[in-house]
Amino acid sequence: MKLPVIKRGMIQTALGSIFYLISDGRIDTTTTSATTTLTTVDKSPILCFHMSPRSSDEYLEVLPLLALGGMDNGTTDTNDDGAVRTENNDGRVVIAFDLPGYGASENPPRSCTVDEISDACLAAADSILGTSTGITTNYVTIGSLLGNFFCVSLASRYPERIRAGILTNPWYNPGASGMVPTTIGNDDIVTPIPDSFHLKDDGSHLVGLHSKRSSWLDNELNLRVVQSEIEYLANRRKRYPKGINIEGGNDYDFPSAVQTIVERQEYGSSGSSSPCKFLCIRGESCAKLFDAFGLDGTKRFDEACELFLPAAAGEGDDDDDNILRVATVTGDKSTLNVVNQMPEEFAVLCNNFFSSHGL
């Protein structure tokens, strides 16, 4: 079976039009029929959230691998036109968004929070999949750095809809200074936000974007990453004079959101049949890089993971009873951009985790 195709689209949300990539691994893409709708599927769709200042391009290589799933089994049938169709019983739909203000998405019309962006993406996913049959109404999520907060936001507030989450290189630093969003609802007051990114006549600002990642990215991937950052910075230069801010990880109450998830697990207050499970993936080289920059990558990763541990957790607890599993990816490419640089290894970790929980 060939890799599923990746399709692109735009959808209107409460926070403006957002761009997305979508891949459907439930059907063999070699079929000649234009009709590829399946009647049943039990795999929860995956929603992918990128880091800052990236875009859905962060998931370009891994998207079809996630859509295929484990490919342990499948069935063949024929379409009405007689063409052979292969149904992949491990396949699923995967959607990766450009968050508002990133990539090809529009700037939000007002300042917005992590929770509001999460809600907009969830509503967008429902709309995108609304015309498809056989799609379950709950999801699993994957995040990277900033994207991790959207996974946790959804899981903490919609336990009946989010079945699992994978957090890549989670890093939470409550001591870092962040932006305070402009007061929402007061359109008469506009407080411009200062921008630390300055254009230079000799274009050296562009050279700086390339050079800061050149030690761990090849030129081709670095070009894509720089493109995403330029799109983000260009959008930021448009919204900052209007006082429009997008809440970042340093401003989001990550501990409280995780605590809600943990307490739901401990006291059985979830409205779903099974508690939401999480996998934290650490890129070894990413942690070392953060440590070298004085950002305490290893410490912050461990602290983020510890938040998921129940207060009464003991050494003898069954791993299946815990909310969290941790996996470490090693090697020179286990960097900040591990999703792009190690897509096969990343997909195996994700697919195995979902399969182990019947997802």
Give the number of domains in the chain. Answer: 1
Closest CA relative to residue 328, chosen from 298, 304, 307, 351: 298
Question: At 143, which amino acid appears?
Answer: G
Mean pLDDT calculated for residue range 173-185: 52
Model pLDDT for residues 63-76, shown as the tens digit of each residue: 999 999 875 544 44
Q: How confident is the model at residue 258, as a pLDDT?
A: 95
Query: Which segments of 53-111 does DSSP mark as H helices, in order?
Result: 63-68
CATH (domain of 30)? 3.40.50.1820
285 in a domain, yes or no? Answer: yes
302 in a domain, yes or no? Answer: yes
Q: How confident is the model at residue 293, as a pLDDT?
A: 84
Q: How confident is the model at residue 87, as a pLDDT?
A: 52
- CA dihedral in degrees (90, 221, 223, 229; nearest 10)? 60
Phi and psi at 342, nearest 5°, equal: -130, 60
132 in a domain, yes or no? Answer: yes
- Round to whole Å and give the CA distance between 193 and 237: 9
Q: Which residue has the higher pLDDT, 336 or 320?
A: 336
Confidence band, pLDDT 50/70/90 cuts, at residue 231: very high
Mean pLDDT calculated for residue range 216-241: 97
- Give the domain extent around 31: 6-189+246-356
For residue 82, pLDDT beyond 70 = no
265 in a domain, yes or no? Answer: yes
Confidence band, pLDDT 50/70/90 cuts, at residue 274: confident
> What mean pLDDT is reported for the chain?
85
Model pLDDT for residues 105-142, shown as the tens digit of each residue: 999 999 999 999 999 999 999 999 985 545 557 999 99
Mean pLDDT calculated for residue range 327-354: 96
Mean pLDDT calculated for residue range 292-316: 78
236 in a domain, yes or no? Answer: no
Model pLDDT for residues 34-64, shown as the tens digit of each residue: 344 443 456 899 999 999 999 999 999 999 9
Give me the percent of the chain exceeding a pLDDT of 90. Answer: 65
Q: How confident is the model at residue 319, as a pLDDT?
A: 54
Confidence band, pLDDT 50/70/90 cuts, at residue 316: very low
**Strand-pair partners of 328:** 282
Mean pLDDT calculated for residue range 340-353: 97
- In 152-295, DSSP assigns E strands to 162-168, 277-283
Phi and psi at 197, nearest 5°, equal: -90, 120
215 in a domain, yes or no? Answer: no
280 in a domain, yes or no? Answer: yes
Closest CA relative to residue 165, chosen from 180, 176, 150: 150
Confidence band, pLDDT 50/70/90 cuts, at residue 143: very high
